[in-house]
Amino acid sequence: MALVLFIYPAFAWLKASPTPAVLFTIIGVLTVILAIQAVPSITILPEMFPEDVRATGMSLVYSIGVAVFGGFAPFISTWLVKASGDKLAPAWYLILTALVSLLGLPYLKDRTGENMDSAAESSIPSCSKI
């Protein structure tokens, strides 16, 4: 949620003052926000999969998300700037992707205190059980 709140002001500040100092400050602040977001994500992902498919499940979910939303980001950002004429348009793309990523949070089961292997087995069938 912090990304949603800070991304547009960060882009506006960089547009108003396009200096290396401003750029590095913005990168630093957004990196801290990303790190705060990444830690729970890396904890939640393994809890979604049983032990025998955990690495494959995690890598597929993470890789597909990064490929789709991160891989196309330069193309979409360039297109948005060209189509709208607004250099702040990529901020709206980042805000939209951040909000879309929040949609799944209410559907995640809290597995605090549960045995990860037994909890995950009940939610996703393993390849050997299909």
pLDDT the model gives residue 9: 96
Phi, psi of 43 (to 5 degrees): -80, -40
Q: How many whole angstroms separate alpha carbon 93 and alpha carbon 77?
A: 7
Q: Mean pLDDT, consecutive 10-residue segments, the chain of 130 residues?
A: 91 95 96 88 80 87 87 93 94 90 82 64 53
Show me where the domains of the chain are located.
Answer: 2-106
pLDDT the model gives residue 1: 81
Read off the pTM. 0.72
Degrees to nearest 5, angle at CA 41 with 129 and 66 = 85
Q: CA dihedral in degrees (88, 72, 22, 89; nearest 10)?
A: 0
Instruction: Note whether 123 and 48 are within 8 A (CB).
Output: yes
